[in-house]
Structure 1
Amino acid sequence: MKLAIFGANGPTGRQATEQAIAEGHTVTAVTRRPESFPLSDPRLRVVGADVLDSGAVERTVAGQDAVISTLGVPYGRSPVTVYSGGMAHITRAMTEHGVRRLVCVSSTVLFETPAPGEGLFFRKVLEPFIVRFVGRTVYDDMRRMEEVVSESEHEWTVIRPAGLFDAHAVSDYRVSASRLPGRFTSRADLGNALLRQAVDGHHVRAFIDVRTTEGVPSFLDVIRKEAFSGKK
């Protein structure tokens, strides 16, 4: 398949790109900083483009079989438009060029239902604090992005992972259309889930959860390392 991956220079984007190349797919990796992209392969084309540049997005999407978005921005107080604005450009370009398959990342908190077995403190205090205060502008724009995606006529899937952490290899992770137990998703597993959805075409027009079930870190370790890093 010919795959365009937006946000390819982030940790999840690099996972999806590397795994796609290993499977023999042709990848167009889209990043604002192509000079720092660490991967190279005959099946890889690295494109320097901003997802908020509609012309650049349209040129990138032309000729692709599917589009994967791993866009991410750090928490902050400033309004965020990258998710929704970028997705508006992506879906418009897909329509223009007849590309049907779209897979993107948001967050498990957008299910707005408790995770099975989640403790009262996390459910009633910690998660609401992160969603409503620490990450409010990010999650607000993720919701707008999901509206753009769900209102489109494409064959879309939105993946809502839990807290992200780095792992060396893909595990036997879980996928479900409802919220799963557990707090974490490795980027290796998320990259693989994105690739599987794009290539295999499962869960069309659905929001799905992805959970890592083995080798997960402690909650405090992830908070210390990830919460304000801006990695996606």
Structure 2
Amino acid sequence: MRITILGANGPTGRLLTQQAVAAGHNVVALTRRPDEFPMRHPKLVVEGGDVLNQDAVDPVVDGSDAVLSALGTPFSKEELEVYSRGGHNTLAAMKRFGTPRLVVVTSGAVTGQPEPTGGFLFNRVLQPYVMRVLGKTVYDDMRRLEELLSLSDTEWTVLRPSGLFELPDVTKFSITEEHGPGRLTSRRDLAAAMLEQVTDQRFVRKVAHVITTQDNPSLLSMIWREARKK
């Protein structure tokens, strides 16, 4: 199967590319910085380009059986359109070339609903600040993408992870329409869940939550790990 990966040079995109190649797929990876992409493989083609440019999206989608979007962008006070405009360009290319399957990542935070196991501090203080202040423009654009997909007849699936963290291997995770137990998602598990959707029809034209169900760090240790990367 030929798979196009958007946002391939991000932390989830790199893991997704590795897993897709390891599974035997032919992969086209789109990134704005192809020279920085760390992986080379006979089944991998790395293309330079920006999803905001239709002329960059068209050739990487042409001939693919599925598009997996691991697009991400840092929080910003500026208005963003990476998700929505990138999604528009992707859908246009898929329609033009007859590519049927699309899997995209947004976030469990787009709903604004409390996390089932979040607790007072997380649900009343931390999550509202991240959603309404720190990450407002990101989550607004994710919602625009989800609305765009809901109006499309493409075989799309939206995966919503919760707080992302690192594990050395794929572990146990749940994929459910309702928010599952737990508030964290390993990036490797998210990548594995995305790849599963290429052949799994359960969540076609649906939104699903991906939650890692083992080896979760504490919330404070996760925040500390992520803060040290910056």
Q: Which residue of 2 aligns with 1:204?
A: 204
**Using the alignment, how far apart are the partners of 1:52 and 1:109 within structure 2?**
24
Q: Which residue of structure 1 aligns with residue 79 of structure 2? A: 79
The CA deviation at 1:114 is 2.6
8 A Cα contact 1:115 1:180, kept in partner: no
Q: Is the 8 A contact 1:5 1:29 kept in 2?
A: yes
Number of aligned pairs?
230
Give the Cα separation in 2 of the matches to 1:99 and 1:172. Answer: 30
Matched, 1:32 2:32: yes
Following TM superposition, by how much is the alpha carbon of 1:228 offset from its aligned partner in structure 2, in angstroms? 9.7
Give, in whole Å, the separation in 2 of the partners of 1:5 and 1:155.
16
Cα deviation, residue 100, structure 1: 1.1
Contact 2:117 2:183 in 1 (8 A): no
CA deviation string 1:52-72 (max 9, x = no partner): 010110111110000000000
On the 8 A contact 1:167/1:187 being kept in 2, the answer is: yes
Quote the residue 1:152 is aligned against: 152
- Alignment deviations for residues 34-93 of structure 1 (CA, whole Å, 9 cap, x no partner): 111111111100010100010110111110000000000011211111111111000011
Shift in CA distance, 2/88, structure 1 to aligned 2, threshold 3 Å? same
Alpha-carbon distance, 1:140 to partner? 0.6
* CA distance in structure 2 between the aligned counterparts of 1:228 and 1:26, rounded to whole angstroms: 35
User: 116-125 or 87-96: which moved more?
Assistant: 116-125
Partner of 2:100: 100
- Quick one: distance in 2 between partners of 1:181 and 1:120? 16
Could you say which residue in structure 2 is the equivalent of 1:21?
Answer: 21
Does the alignment pair 1:165 with 2:151?
A: no
Alpha carbons of structure 1 residues 227 and 86: separation in structure 2 relative to 1, 3 Å: farther
Cα 1:185–1:110 change in 2 (3 A) is same
In 1, Cα distance between equivalents of 2:85 and 2:12: 20
Structure 2 letter corresponding to 1:196: E
The one-letter code of the counterpart of 2:57 is V
CA–CA separation in structure 1 for the residues paired with 2:90 and 2:120: 39
Contact 2:166–2:188 under 8 Å retained in 1: yes
Percent of pairs with identical residues: 47
Is contact 1:75-1:228 (8 Å) kept? no
Q: In 2, Cα distance between the equivalents of 1:220 and 1:80?
A: 29
What residue is the counterpart of 2:125 in the other structure?
Answer: 125
Q: 1:141: which partner in 2?
A: 141
Cα deviation digits, residues 159-185 of structure 1 (max 9, x gap):
000011111111011110111221210
CA distance in 2, matches of 1:158, 1:111: 13
- 2:55 and 2:66 map into 1 onto residues whose CA distance is 18
Match of 1:226 in 2: 226
Query: TM-score if structure 1 supplies the norm length?
Result: 0.95
The match for 1:183 is 183
Aligned residue for 2:27, secondary structure, equals strand
Cα RMSD (Å) of the superposition? 1.5
